């Protein structure tokens, strides 16, 4: 069974952390409605939704991807780079411990799950304002005995690695060449986003279907022309919080 861990939208989402985006008014009710549609979409593609305990005091709490990465053997709980977000991880750890052994990134290291892109037995780790070299070293210590390698990736002008690149197939990636160099992903097929949609590299792959924000119609057409199955949802309220469609779920096989 495929599991998707999610969490409710905080009524304080207007106070979310922002790094590369100017603050705009966010409607919490509209954000919650869009998130409910998102959860129903995930369910319709074969996932069982597991709602983590609510965290209304944490404006960014809905962005559960940043709190953990789940591999076949272990769940690694993050230590978020923004101090305001570190209280988000406890409820996620409690939700995940039903399915995996749990390990943690420890201080002084910091790491956001949005900086991790697992492809087979390789974990690409973005070196960002939220993820530092100490965390990458800790992650390597945890996963190397399990047969994984960790490849650091330098980022430019984006929040997380998954802002710049996500998987669209077992060995294929969608990426923004302005934010990450293709050479970091040797041996993989890379597809560039439409240059008029620099935020389009964040897509959610469940099975053979790709979920793309409706804000990125050009990149959706590009993917469809490749013969891929693509669907879209409105997610613009979350985008105002510097988020993408991968940010609000942790999807894994139970």
Active site residues: 160, 247
- CA dist 122 and 161 (Å) reads 14
* Cα–Cα–Cα angle for 167, 173, 175, rounded to 5 degrees: 110
- CA dist 65 and 85 (Å) reads 12
Residues whose CB falls within 8 Å of the CB of residue 143, separated by 6 or more in sequence, listed in order:
71, 74, 76, 123, 150
Q: What is the arrangement of strands in the sheet containing 204-206, beginning at the earlier edge strand? A: 204-206, 209-213, 229-233
Neighbouring CB atoms inside 10 A of 22's CB total 6
What are the C-alpha distances in Å from 130 to residues 39, 73, 125, 149? 26, 25, 11, 21
CB burial readout 42-60, b (16+ within 10 A) else e: beebebeebebeebeebbb
- CA dist 135 and 63 (Å) reads 20
- Closest CA relative to residue 114, chosen from 157, 165, 151, 149: 165
């Amino acid at each position: 069974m495929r599991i998707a861990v999610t969490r409710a939208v905080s009524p304080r989402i207007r106070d979310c952390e922002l790094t590369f985006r100017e603050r705009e008014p966010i409607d919490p009710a509209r954000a919650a409605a869009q998130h409910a549609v998102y959860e129903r979409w995930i369910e319709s593609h074969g996932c069982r939704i597991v709602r983590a305990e609510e965290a209304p005091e944490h404006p960014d709490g809905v962005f559960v991807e940043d709190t953990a990465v789940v591999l076949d053997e272990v769940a690694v709980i993050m230590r978020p780079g923004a101090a305001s977000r570190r209280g988000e991880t406890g409820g996620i750890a409690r939700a995940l411990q039903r399915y995996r052994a749990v390990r943690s990134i420890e201080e002084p290291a910091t790491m956001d799950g949005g900086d991790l892109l697992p492809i087979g037995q390789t974990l690409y780790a973005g070196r960002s304002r939220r993820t530092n070299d100490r965390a990458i070293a800790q992650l390597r210590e945890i996963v190397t005995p399990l047969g994984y390698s960790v490849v650091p990736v330098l980022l430019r002008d984006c929040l997380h690695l998954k802002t710049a690149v996500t998987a669209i197939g077992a060995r294929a990636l969608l990426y923004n060449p302005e934010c990450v160099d293709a050479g970091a992903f040797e041996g993989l097929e890379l597809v560039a986003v439409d240059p008029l949609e620099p935020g389009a590299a964040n897509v959610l792959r469940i099975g053979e279907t790709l979920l793309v924000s409706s804000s990125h119609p050009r990149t959706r057409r590009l993917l469809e022309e490749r013969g891929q199955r693509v669907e879209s949802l409105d997610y613009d309220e979350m985008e105002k919080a510097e988020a993408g469609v991968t940010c609000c779920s942790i999807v894994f096989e139970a």
